[in-house]
Amino acid sequence: MRILLTNDDGIHAPGLTALERIATALSDDVWICAPEYEQSGASRALTLADPIRVRRVGERRFSTTGTPTDCVMLGIHDLVEGAKPDLVLSGVNRGANLAEDVTMSGTVAGAIEAMALGVPGIALSQMGGYEHGDTYFQAAETFAPGIIKRLVEVGWPNDVVININFPNLPIAEIETVEVTRQGFRDVHVRHAEKRTDLRGRDYYWIGFRHERSKPAEGTDLRALYEGRISVTPLHIDLTHNASVNALKGVLGGPPPKV
């Protein structure tokens, strides 16, 4: 199995090193194309107004000045030599990618771009902050190879990506994998903090508050809160079908006039 790796934390991120160990447990044909610098929150951004520089940093290993989407596109079309990858793995992200955050996640976007180009994609993230040391990704490294192997064996639809989130717990305390649906927080966790630079000019730093919502059973949020590994099949059809049916009776036919 030929595997392409990417992330949104950058080519030097510890999570990418962890992902490489995960991938090499499954295959000896592993390629890497990741951003030169952190691209967290980049979502599916595509670099259109600037050139993308590519740097070879090792055998089957490249960094680019682009986004995770750029990296996967370049990796599949140009940088992986010979046959295209059989699988794209994106991550392991430092911090979970859950609920509404999946729409802005560069990690999830890497898997989505793979899907869009006809290659199965899996995004991997681990809950927690930046205070942990070298053992931070132990849960992902321990459990991801077996989960990925099983997923590849059974397969999933071509228009779906798999989003896996690992709890930040000791290995012995993680006992369950749960297939979940995407949740939605009932609290607002993003905020912008106003600061002042040394020249007296105001600027803002966007971050997250550590507040837990009260998610429903079966959601990705609930699984992580309760110490389970969450596996969520996602697709990018954002249509709300109930509203489509309701609006057809209101807006169907000739355009309304004021």
Q: Please give the DSSP secondary-structure letter assigned to residue 173.
A: G
Give the other-Cβ count within 10 Å of 172's Cβ: 6
Distance CA 65, CA 47 (A): 9
pLDDT value at residue 164: 98
What percent of the chain lies above the pLDDT cut of 70?
A: 97
Residue 27 structure tokens? 């295959």
Q: Give the DSSP letter of residue 238.
A: -
Q: Is 220 annotated as a binding residue?
A: no
**pLDDT(155) > 80:** yes
The confidence score (pLDDT) of residue 130 equals 58
Domain count, the chain: 1
How does DSSP assign 187-234, residue by residue? S--EEEEEEE-TTS-EEEEEEE------PPTTBHHHHHHTT-EEEEEE
Question: Does the annotation flag 101 for ligand binding?
Answer: no
> Is the pLDDT at 252 greater than 90, yes or no?
no
The token duo for 240 is 């709300």
Residue 88 belongs to a domain with what CATH number? 3.40.1210.10
CA 231/CA 165 separation, integer angstroms: 7
What does the pLDDT average to over 102-124?
98
Domain annotation covers residue 206: no
Assess contact for 100 and 66: CB atoms under 8 A: no
Element containing residue 178 per DSSP (H, E): strand 177-179
* Strands 202-208, 190-196: pairing kind: antiparallel
Tokens of 52: 């993308």
Residue 245 among known ligand-binding residues:
no
Task: Report the SS3 class of residue 22.
Answer: helix
State the pLDDT at residue 178. 98
Tell whether 201 is covered by a domain. Answer: no
Q: What is the pLDDT of residue 180?
A: 98
Residue 8 annotated as binding site? yes
Backbone angles phi, psi at 193, to 5 degrees: -100, 125
Q: State the pLDDT at residue 64.
A: 98
pLDDT at 254: 87
pLDDT the model gives residue 191: 79
> For residue 194, what are the CA distances in angstroms to 17, 191, 198, 199, 201?
34, 10, 14, 15, 10
Interatomic CA distance for residues 98 and 224, integer angstroms: 9
- Candidates 168, 159, 164; CA nearest to 179 is 164
pLDDT band at 54 (very low <50, low <70, confident <90, very high): very high
> Residues 55-67: what's their mean pLDDT?
97
pTM of the entire structure? 0.93
**Pick the residue with more confidence: 206 or 152?**
152
Q: Which of 5, 124, 117, 12 is nearest to 60 (CA)?
A: 5
Q: Is 89 part of a structural domain of the chain?
A: yes
> Residue 41: inside a domain, yes or no?
yes
Q: Is the pLDDT of residue 133 over 60?
A: no
Would residue 188 count as lying in a domain?
Answer: no
135 inside domain = yes
Does a structural domain hold residue 107? yes
**Residue-number span of the structural domain to which 104 is assigned:** 2-183+214-251
Largest separation between any pair of C-alpha atoms in the chain: 65
